[in-house]
Amino acid sequence: MSLPTSTASPTPTRSTPRPATPSHRSGYRTGLRWLLQTHGFMFLWALGMLVVLVAAATIIVSNVTTPAGSIVQHARQGLTWFPFSIAIVGITTYTNIHIGAGLTRRSLGWAALTAAVVMAVAYAALFTLALQLERAVYGWTGWAHGVDGAGGLFTSSGQVGLVVLDVGLLFLAGQLSGVLVGIVYYRAGGWWGTLALPLTAGPILLATPALSTAALGDLGLAPRVVLVLLVLGAMSLAAHRLILGVQVRKLAT
């Protein structure tokens, strides 16, 4: 019954020599690469949709009337919620893959947070660039490039700094919230994941209004930014802690 090549030994349970020592850092790199590849692919989809939809809308509007407002500004919502949903799918899909490949939760947590920041910067850059390109086209054609400013920090597309700050924080909130929502659903299941949505997804709705709401009185922009960053930091900490304790779920078969 036993194999002639058996090296079984009844007592020692520690091997020699030891294998090379993998680290949290190597797992972080592997995880970050996977997440950025996945999110990057979806970023290209977002880019494609933005180009097609904005171009189509511009052509249609300009054939009906003289455009007087930015079309790109309306992508602010889409570029918040589309990456948010991708972040949910990303963390819920990748958790099994990462830990199943022998990589630690700690490396997964840091990779997920880093990917969130990188993708928020990428989407903010995309939005800002698209808005400025549109502004240049409108200027060239003589159209007025107005923005309605509803819910946003900027009231003119020329306020590049405020545009970057506004969508940067908004998209970061969307990304971090996606990770948080995803990991809560993964750990706690559908009921608790849904009941926790006010806590896990709510910060998206508060991020930008907190920069301009009258409820905070005369508080300056810088303290308001710090306040939002503190909320986002708390979300990051919560997401990381939840990832650290995750128990790998059974496979869906």
The stretches of the chain forming alpha helices (DSSP H) are 24-64, 75-100, 105-141, 160-195, 197-200, 202-207, 209-212, 221-244
CA distances from 61 to 13, 19, 147, 168 (A): 74, 65, 16, 28
User: According to CB under 8 A, which residues from 22 to 61 bind another protein?
Assistant: 22-24, 26-27, 30, 33-34
Which segment (16-24, 69-77, 173-181, 223-231) binds another protein by CB under 8 A?
16-24
The pair of structure tokens assigned to 252 is 């869906």
The full DSSP string for 51-68 is HHHHHHHHHHHHHHS---
What is the contact mask toward another protein in residues 145 to 184, using x (rule: CB under 8 A)? Answer: ----------------------------------------
Q: Tell me if 8 contacts another protein by CB under 8 A.
A: yes
The pair of structure tokens assigned to 212 is 């301009």
Smallest separation (angstroms) from another protein to the CB of 66: 46
Smallest separation (angstroms) from another protein to the CB of 24: 6
Smallest separation (angstroms) from another protein to the CB of 120: 24
Q: Tell me if 9 contacts another protein by CB under 8 A.
A: yes
The pair of structure tokens assigned to 164 is 């970057």
Q: Tell me if 1 contacts another protein by CB under 8 A.
A: yes
The answer to whether the CB of 116 falls within 8 A of the CB of 87 is yes
Question: How far, in Å, CA of 36 to CA of 49, rounded?
Answer: 19
Near another protein by CB under 8 A: residue from 97, 129, 195, 230: 97
Near another protein by CB under 8 A: residue from 44, 102, 150, 191: 102
Which spans of this chain sit near another protein (rule: CB under 8 A)? 1-3, 5-15, 18-24, 26-27, 30, 33-34, 93, 96-97, 99-107, 244-245, 247-248, 250-251, 253
